[in-house]
Chain A
Amino acid sequence: MIVKALTGSKRYWGWVTILLFLIAIGFTCYLWQLNKGLSITGMSRDVSWGLYISQFTFLVGVAASAVMVVLPYYLHNVKAFGRITILGEFLAVAALIMCLLFVLVDVGKPMRILNMIFYPTPSSMFFWDMIALSGYLLLNIIAGWHALEAEYKAVPPPAWTKILVYISIPWAVSIHTVTAFLYAGLPGRHYWLTAIMAARFLASAFASGPALLILLCYIIKRVSKFDPGREALQKLAAIVTYATIVSAFFIGLEFFTAFYSQAPAHGMYTLKYLFAGLDGHGRLVIWMWAFAILVVLALVLLINPKTRTRDRYLQVACTAVFISMWIEKGIGLVIGGFVPNPFERVTEYAPTLPETLITIGVWAIGALVLTFLYKIAVSIKEEIV
């Protein structure tokens, strides 16, 4: 089956070459970072996590969202999703590989990363996150691959893979819950110290992940002979709609608690920093307003059935959902949590060029993995058609 990823059109190889180029640039910058230390990034004493960890956080959500196609298909027998469960699982695989790489590029001593296994520490949420993420990666690789192999040979998948699929459903919820706990359990970070953090994470994950999957399905439909099916996309669109509404609602809840209680311990200053600027610092304001506008736009297009059922509008809506959730979780949440610092001062963060290139490099690795996996899956599905 792997050979299917090694044969393709000129356009396919062109795309792969672009990705390899981006990976090479990112890797070169990473070697530079290894040599100079994280000094070459924009992170500081006060904002000690930046683009890397925020991408990690966002992508855990994308990975967790695979459950949104797996669950309806396996538990509710939604036949329409049968054609695309494999796409959801492979998206999770690519997202998880990016997650692990983002952790690796973020740590100061990557050569010591196995200390997390040599000295396992159950009190640390990072320890559980490692277990949850690597477990979910394995589950998806094994279950996805066997399902595809069965399809290739036109036989039903082995029965034991179904057990793995059932395990993977609560496991998907766990990976994003544990990732939220990384933040929600820290006493001094007001913006993160909220009990609905895990719920917020899951809601935005179930919006951004399926939105990306819809967009990927449109691309596949365009570049191959495989059609994921209109019904599946419309069902996914409904999921994206509900999840986006819930996400926006949860963010509203944060605003209410912060500004009605007026208690600094509920993240009021961070929200002010993010949406209006604090003490003359407002680097993220434009991003957060872009987020707000995109969410409104997406909701208008998604809630209205006339626009949701039109391909063009659905594509715009899904792009808006994906970008807005990326801004909210991939920028605002992690960086915002560090502002103001423990001394109530504002230190701003902006990624540097090498840091951005490394980030793009990791995304390119994810895109490459996804391209290979989708190429295999789509080629097999094309043959069946």
Chain B
Amino acid sequence: MTTSRRSFIKAGGACLLGLTLWPAVKSFAGNNAGNIENPGAPAGKRWGLVIDMQKCWPKYQEGCRDCFLACRKAHNIPDIADKEEEIKWLWTEPFENAFPEQEHEYIAAGIKGKPFIVLCNHCNNPPCVRVCPTKATFKRRDGIVMMDYHRCIGCRYCMAACPYGARSFNFSDPRPYIKEIDPAYPTREKGVVEKCNFCAERVDLGLVPVCVEACRAGALIFGDLEEPNSVVRKILSGRYTILRKPELGTHPSVFYLV
């Protein structure tokens, strides 16, 4: 049998192509899917947050920004002045922007235009997780929607998918915009998406998120939504709460008392 140079190059090319597909084959055919699908801390949990804005507002008007500052410090969040490239984990939006479908002309004066704390909703059915092409965003077994910054390719599909504007992209290197870097938590780098992680690093150690701890008004209540006797469940069963954009079927884990 004679092998021409052309057919040799062709076969070589085909082999090379096959090599690049090998990891995909391994991952599809492998039996270790368990550590990729729906991983995370204790199963049977679903962490949630109840936000009581009535408790927050008096302090907020006095200028209290403790939760934002604590979050910013604990996670090395850069302070970027350019609104278009800002990194936001936890911030406020006026009622009609946070809840556009709830707004109407005759809304109570006590609500209209009032700031509401917004953050990643850690949806039970998160569209960002569904669209991520690398599983860099995934839902842990305890309900936290988490990001693996080592894996993110920066395609920003999750930003298009998130109906809550909770995701930010690092358009440039964030380090120059961090005033004081806390060595206990990594920064992010240019080219990846980031968002609130419900302080998974604290929750895993049995602590509550840093914003909840920092709040002097007790306006943020954190707990397990699957546990019928938890504080959050008691509040939810006793008082009327609203969610952001419930009509989209994402099932947020952040609830608002109004």
- Cα-based distance from A109 to B84 in the complex (angstroms): 20
Q: B20 on the interface (CB 8 Å rule)?
A: yes
From A110, A116, A118, residue with most partner B Cβ within 10 Å: A118
Q: A123 on the interface (CB 8 Å rule)?
A: yes
User: Mask for B233-258, Cβ within 8 A of A = 1, else 0?
Assistant: 00000000000010111100000000
- Cα-based distance from A115 to B86 in the complex (angstroms): 26
Q: Is the CB of B156 within 8 A of A121?
A: no
- Cα-based distance from A44 to B170 in the complex (angstroms): 10
Q: B164 on the interface (CB 8 Å rule)?
A: yes
From B131, B136, B152, residue with most partner A Cβ within 10 Å: B131
- Cα-based distance from A127 to B153 in the complex (angstroms): 13
A115-B151, A123-B130, A347-B84 known; A186 vs B173 contact (CB < 8 Å): no
User: Mask for A308-340, Cβ within 8 A of B = 1, else 0?
Assistant: 000000000000000000000000000001100
Chain B residues numbered 122-142 whose CB sits less than 8 Å from any CB in chain A: 127, 129-136
How many interface residues does chain B have, given as a range? Answer: 35 or more
A350 to B: closest C-beta gap in Å = 11
A40 to B: closest C-beta gap in Å = 9
Q: Is the CB of A46 within 8 A of B165?
A: yes
Q: Is the CB of B27 within 8 A of A119?
A: yes
Q: Is the CB of A43 within 8 A of B27?
A: no
How many interface residues does chain A have, given as a range? Answer: 35 or more
- Cα-based distance from A183 to B160 in the complex (angstroms): 9
A76 to B: closest C-beta gap in Å = 32
- Cα-based distance from A237 to B100 in the complex (angstroms): 46
Which B residues are in CB contact (< 8 Å) with A38? 154, 169, 171-172, 191
Q: Is the CB of B155 within 8 A of A107?
A: yes
A48-B160, A188-B245 known; A112 vs B153 contact (CB < 8 Å): yes
Q: Is the CB of A107 within 8 A of B154?
A: yes
Cβ-defined partner of A37 (8 Å) among B24, B28, B159, B172: B172
- Cα-based distance from A38 to B155 in the complex (angstroms): 11
Q: A158 on the interface (CB 8 Å rule)?
A: no
- Cα-based distance from A118 to B22 in the complex (angstroms): 9
A186-B161, A342-B165, A343-B100 known; A116 vs B133 contact (CB < 8 Å): yes
Nearest residue in A to B97 (C-beta to C-beta)?
A: A343
A113-B153, A188-B248, A344-B100 known; A45 vs B168 contact (CB < 8 Å): yes
Q: B23 on the interface (CB 8 Å rule)?
A: yes
Cβ-defined partner of B135 (8 Å) among A39, A107, A121, A344: A121
A118-B27, A342-B165 known; A125 vs B131 contact (CB < 8 Å): yes
Nearest residue in A to B193 (C-beta to C-beta)?
A: A108
Q: Is the CB of B154 within 8 A of A109?
A: yes
A4 to B: closest C-beta gap in Å = 16
How many residue pairs between the two chains, A and B, have CB atoms under 8 Å in the bound complex?
154
- Cα-based distance from A121 to B96 in the complex (angstroms): 36
A188-B162, A342-B164 known; A117 vs B20 contact (CB < 8 Å): yes
Q: Is the CB of B153 within 8 A of A44?
A: no
- Cα-based distance from A109 to B171 in the complex (angstroms): 11
- Cα-based distance from A264 to B98 in the complex (angstroms): 16
Q: A106 on the interface (CB 8 Å rule)?
A: yes
Q: Is the CB of B97 within 8 A of A345?
A: yes
Q: Is the CB of B171 within 8 A of A39?
A: yes
- Cα-based distance from A341 to B98 in the complex (angstroms): 11
Which A residues are in CB contact (< 8 Å) with B154? 38, 107-109, 112
From A121, A344, A345, residue with most partner B Cβ within 10 Å: A121
A37-B172, A115-B153 known; A342 vs B20 contact (CB < 8 Å): no
Q: Is the CB of B163 within 8 A of A119?
A: no
Q: Is the CB of B84 within 8 A of A124?
A: no
Q: B146 on the interface (CB 8 Å rule)?
A: no
Q: A12 on the interface (CB 8 Å rule)?
A: no
- Cα-based distance from A189 to B245 in the complex (angstroms): 12
Q: Is the CB of A108 within 8 A of B173?
A: no
Nearest residue in B to A125 (C-beta to C-beta)?
A: B131
Which A residues are in CB contact (< 8 Å) with B133? 115-116, 121, 124, 126-127, 130
Q: A187 on the interface (CB 8 Å rule)?
A: yes
- Cα-based distance from A347 to B133 in the complex (angstroms): 27
B55 to A: closest C-beta gap in Å = 23
Q: A114 on the interface (CB 8 Å rule)?
A: yes
Q: Is the CB of A45 within 8 A of B24?
A: no
Q: A36 on the interface (CB 8 Å rule)?
A: yes
Q: B93 on the interface (CB 8 Å rule)?
A: yes
Q: Is the CB of B191 within 8 A of A109?
A: yes
Q: Is the CB of B84 within 8 A of A187?
A: no
Q: Is the CB of B27 within 8 A of A108?
A: no
Complex A-B, nearest 5 residue pairs according to Cβ-Cβ distance, in ascending order = A108-B154, A188-B163, A108-B191, A44-B84, A126-B133
Sampled A-B contacts (20; CB under 8 Å):
A37-B173, A37-B191, A38-B191, A39-B85, A39-B171, A44-B84, A45-B84, A45-B169, A103-B155, A108-B191, A109-B154, A110-B153, A112-B151, A115-B153, A117-B20, A124-B132, A186-B131, A264-B100, A342-B163, A343-B165
Q: A108-B152, A124-B133, A187-B161 are in contact. List 18 more A-B contacts (CB 8 A).
A: A45-B169, A106-B155, A107-B154, A108-B153, A108-B192, A115-B134, A117-B21, A117-B24, A118-B27, A119-B151, A121-B132, A121-B133, A126-B155, A186-B160, A187-B163, A188-B248, A189-B163, A343-B98
B→A interface (CB under 8 Å): 20-21, 23-24, 27-28, 36, 83-86, 88, 93, 96-98, 100-101, 127, 129-136, 151-157, 159-165, 168-173, 190-193, 245, 247-250
